[in-house]
């Protein structure tokens, strides 16, 4: 298998706080990969580094064999990396379908003039995009909320909508930041099914998650961060038995 | 009653100009939370560009027929394009680097840009009022009991047309949607692949183009232009934007027309020296009673 995402020696500090130090990570194409670790371990910082929100102090990040560190966030997004957020970041005053359409637009090309004048080509493109957006809403199980403002949807629906918006840009890599936070057990099971369905469409998924049951049952590979360093990586069974991981979560043995 | 209607028509015509300018304030505020104090001067710049084009076309008074249409269209086009590009240039060179700086820095910069533009225009067109050709024939049309002059009609029609076009761009095009998304959450927008710089530039382009149109319209309406016009007109348009709920496009239009009408009635009933006092007193009252403006909600419905 080839690595879709390769992270090499990535470090990032904020003043005296070292959020990431020398993190190496390699994510295989077609896998479901989890990043776990105690609060403040640097998990979200790593997502922000991958998506270009933070510039790196050192190290490199390559996606599909090409360096992406240092590129503007929107360029990285257009290369094929989409994400969701720990705290939802939907466009609350746009309708659900428009939120998804924005994801679609990220990979559509067309001239300004086309779009302003509404040429037949632009209209046809837009109609097709709208149909695909509806299909994405169906895919995540939001069939009948298209025209509502995103902010008026239930919490669980907003989480799904964020995933639909991310998928609409047809990414090859999807980063999910605590997708199960705040979901009830039924919703968590549905989420796990959804993530598998996404992977089955050929999208590699990396998720940050605190729910160990979900992580262990869903993910093929797990990396553990603690204090900005990667302390372990492996299959779920290896991670569960790893003394360093147990120590990071439960504190040093007495 | 007759006088009442006449004043109403006056107010709507002047209000259309304020509304066009107010749209630029409100869009820019909606997307970068900056009060672009140079915007009033962009509007004045539009007057001078339109005047330059009309002069180059040999227009010095009334024009009729097809020549009128061509001259007017060229003047508007030039003013809108130049002012749109001016808006983009101001954002690019004066504001972009300060986007993540403390709020006060870009605000002071905006005031600086305003001074620069005023001085450039003073060098270009001189410190005195410059007369603008009376392009449109003067006779008024009787619409029932209301007498409307041709230029009033043109002013209002152009402004309303531009506002409809703006609504279409903002709500029905891909770029407009990108602009609204950027106004709501800039980071999330860039993470879903929106070129945020382009979306912000679009707000400045549209705002500048509308200010350019307003510059032409006011030149024709008042038959004069002055390098310092943008100061008071800009302040009133800003007031209009706040009155309607800054960041809200429909609010800027409503606020613009309201300010025009209030000003017109205050001049009629209280005398010209009281018009500014009335306008700003009403602003103060609205802000006390409804700080988010007439159409603003909390949180502000941006762009």
Give, for all 303 residues of chain B, the pLDDT tens digit: 788 998 999 999 999 999 999 999 999 999 998 999 999 999 999 999 999 999 999 887 777 788 888 999 999 999 999 999 999 999 999 999 999 899 899 999 999 999 999 999 999 999 999 999 988 877 778 777 788 888 899 999 999 999 999 998 898 888 888 999 999 999 899 988 899 999 999 999 999 999 999 999 999 999 999 999 999 999 999 999 999 998 889 999 999 999 999 999 999 999 989 989 999 898 889 888 888 888 876 544 444
pLDDT of residue A1: 53
For residue A126, the chain B residue with the least C-alpha distance is B174
For residue A94, the chain B residue with the least C-alpha distance is B181
Are A112 and A149 part of one and the same domain? yes
Q: Which residue among A144, A170, A196 closes a domain?
A: A170
The overall longest dimension of chain B from CA atoms, in Å, is: 58
Structural domain includes residue A197: no
By Cβ distance, the residue of A72, A85, A91 closest to B181 is A91
A247: enclosing H helix or E strand = helix A243-250
Query: For residues A72 and B189, what is the distance between their CA atoms, to the nearest angstrom?
Result: 12
Integer-rounded Cα Rg, in Å, for chain B is 19
Handedness of CA A171, A173, A177, A181 (dihedral sign): positive
Are A166 and A183 part of one and the same domain? no
Residue pLDDT, tens place only, A162-205? 999 999 989 999 999 999 988 999 999 999 999 999 999 999 99
- Does the beta carbon of B162 lie under 8 angstroms from any beta carbon of chain A? no
Distance from CA of A75 to the nearest CA of B (A): 7
Structural domain includes residue A57: yes
In order of A57, A77, B16, the CA distances from B142 in angstroms are 72, 59, 20
CB atoms B191 and A51 under 8 Å? yes
B283: enclosing H helix or E strand = helix B275-289
Structural domain includes residue A138: yes
The overall longest dimension of chain A from CA atoms, in Å, is: 72
pLDDT of residue A2: 73
CB atoms A106 and B194 under 8 Å? yes
Q: What is the pTM of this model?
A: 0.86
Domain count, chain A: 2
By Cβ distance, the residue of B169, B187, B194 closest to A102 is B194
Distance from CA of B193 to the nearest CA of A (A): 4
Best A49, A84, A106, A176 residue to mutate vs chain B (most B CBs within 10 Å): A106
Are A151 and A227 part of one and the same domain? no
pLDDT of residue B221: 93
CB atoms B174 and A72 under 8 Å? no
pLDDT of residue B62: 79
Are A33 and A141 part of one and the same domain? no
Show the beta-strand stretches assigned E in chain A: 3-14, 17-28, 32-36, 58-63, 66-67, 81-83, 173-177, 204-208, 221-226, 229-234
Are A100 and A149 part of one and the same domain? yes
Percentage of the residues of chain A whose pLDDT score is greater than 70? 93
Q: Under a CB-based contact definition with an 8 Å cutoff, are residues B59 and B50 in contact?
A: no
Measured CB to CB, residues of chain A less than 8 Å from chain B are 51, 53, 72-74, 77-78, 82-83, 85, 89-94, 98, 101-103, 105-108, 110, 112, 115-116, 118, 126, 165-166, 169
Range of the domain at A145: 91-170
Look-up of token digits 């959450």: B185
Q: Cα torsion at A90, B92, B250, B232 (round to 10°)? A: 150
Q: Which CATH number covers residue A221?
A: 3.40.50.300
Structural domain includes residue A145: yes
Which residue, A218, A249, A248, A209, is CA-closest to A236?
A218
Partners of residue A98 in chain B, C-beta under 8 Å: 177
Are A180 and A75 part of one and the same domain? yes
Spans in chain A with pLDDT lower than 70:
1, 106-118, 251-254
Partners of residue B180 in chain A, C-beta under 8 Å: 91, 93-94
Crossing angle between the packed helical segments B196-222 and B65-90, to the nearest 10 degrees: 140
Are A142 and A163 part of one and the same domain? yes
Best B191, B248, B249 residue to mutate vs chain A (most A CBs within 10 Å): B191
Structural domain includes residue A194: no
Are A2 and A51 part of one and the same domain? yes
Are A231 and A178 part of one and the same domain? yes
Look-up of token digits 């922000």: A48
Query: For residues B86 and B79, what is the distance between their CA atoms, to the nearest angstrom?
Result: 10
Distance from CA of B51 to the nearest CA of A (A): 28
Query: Cis peptide before B299, with omega less than 30 degrees from 0?
Result: yes
Please give the full DSSP string across B199-234, using - where no structure is assigned.
Answer: HHHHHHHHHHHHHHHHHHHHHHHHSEE-TTHHHHHH
Are A126 and A59 part of one and the same domain? no
Query: For residues A1 and B263, what is the distance between their CA atoms, to the nearest angstrom?
Result: 73
CB atoms A77 and B189 under 8 Å? no
Structural domain includes residue A86: no
**DSSP state for residue B139 in the 8-state scheme:** P
For residue B103 the two structure tokens come to 């709020």
Are A126 and A178 part of one and the same domain? no
Partners of residue A53 in chain B, C-beta under 8 Å: 187, 191
Neighbour tally for B38: CB within 10 Å: 27
Structural domain includes residue A196: no
Structural domain includes residue A199: no
Neighbour tally for B196: CB within 10 Å: 22
pLDDT of residue A108: 67
Are A181 and A67 part of one and the same domain? yes
For residue A83, the chain B residue with the least C-alpha distance is B191
For residue A212 the two structure tokens come to 């160990």
Which residue, B287, B155, B289, B138, is CA-closest to B214?
B155
Please give the full DSSP string across B18-54, using - where no structure is assigned.
Answer: HHHHHHHHHHHHHHH----TTHHHHHHHHHHHHHHHH
pLDDT of residue B145: 76
């Amino acid at each position: 298998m080839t690595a879709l995402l390769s992270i090499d020696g990535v470090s990032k500090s904020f003043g005296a706080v070292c959020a990431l130090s020398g993190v190496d990570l390699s994510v295989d194409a077609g896998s479901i990969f989890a990043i776990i670790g105690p609060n403040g371990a640097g998990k979200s910082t790593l997502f922000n580094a991958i998506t270009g929100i933070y510039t790196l102090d050192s190290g490199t990040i390559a996606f599909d064999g090409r360096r992406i560190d240092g590129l503007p966030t929107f360029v990285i997004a257009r290369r094929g990396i989409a994400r969701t957020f720990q705290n939802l970041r939907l466009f609350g005053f746009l309708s659900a379908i428009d939120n998804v359409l924005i994801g679609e637009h990220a990979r559509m090309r067309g001239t300004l003039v086309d779009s302003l004048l509404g040429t037949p080509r632009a209209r046809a493109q837009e109609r097709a995009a709208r149909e695909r957006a509806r299909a994405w809403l169906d895919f995540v199980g939001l069939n009948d909320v298209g025209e509502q403002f995103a902010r008026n949807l239930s919490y669980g629906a907003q989480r799904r909508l964020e995933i639909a918006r991310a998928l609409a840009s047809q990414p090859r890599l999807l980063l999910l930041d605590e997708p199960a936070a705040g979901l009830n057990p039924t919703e968590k099971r549905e989420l796990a099914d959804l993530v598998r369905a996404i992977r089955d469409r050929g999208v590699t998924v990396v998720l940050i998650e605190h729910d160990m049951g979900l992580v262990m049952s869903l993910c093929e590979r797990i990396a553990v961060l603690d204090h900005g360093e990667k302390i372990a990586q492996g299959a779920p069974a290896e991670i569960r038995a790893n003394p360093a991981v147990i120590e990071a979560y439960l504190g040093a043995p007495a | 009653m007759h006088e009442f209607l006449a004043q109403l028509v006056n107010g709507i015509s002047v209000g259309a100009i304020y509304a066009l300018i107010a749209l630029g304030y409100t869009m820019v505020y909606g997307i970068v939370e900056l009060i672009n104090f140079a915007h009033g001067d962009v509007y004045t710049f539009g007057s001078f560009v339109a005047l330059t084009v009309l002069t180059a076309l040999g227009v010095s008074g009334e024009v009729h027929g097809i020549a009128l249409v061509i001259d007017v269209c060229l003047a508007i086009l030039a003013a809108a394009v130049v002012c749109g590009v001016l808006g983009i240039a101001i954002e690019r060179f004066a504001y972009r680097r300060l986007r993540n700086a403390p709020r006060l820095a870009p605000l002071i910069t905006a005031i600086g840009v305003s001074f620069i533009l005023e001085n450039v225009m003073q060098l270009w067109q001189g410190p005195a009022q410059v007369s603008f050709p009376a392009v449109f024939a003067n006779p008024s049309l009787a619409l029932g009991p209301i007498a409307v002059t041709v230029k009033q009609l043109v002013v209002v029609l152009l402004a309303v047309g531009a506002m409809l076009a703006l609504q279409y761009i903002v709500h029905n095009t891909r770029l407009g949607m990108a602009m609204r998304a950027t106004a709501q959450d800039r980071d999330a927008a860039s993470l879903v692949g929106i070129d945020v710089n382009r979306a912000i530039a679009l707000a400045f382009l549209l705002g500048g183009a509308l200010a350019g149109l307003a510059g032409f319209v006011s030149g024709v309406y008042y038959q004069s232009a002055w390098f310092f016009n943008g100061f008071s007109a800009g302040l009133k348009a800003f007031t209009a934007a706040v009155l309607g709920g800054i960041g809200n496009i429909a609010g800027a239009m409503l606020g613009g027309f309201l300010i025009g009408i209030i000003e017109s009635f205050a001049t009629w009933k209280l005398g010209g020296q009281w018009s500014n006092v009335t306008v700003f007193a009403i602003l103060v009252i609205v802000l006390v009673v409804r700080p988010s403006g007439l159409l603003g909600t909390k949180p502000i419905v941006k762009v």
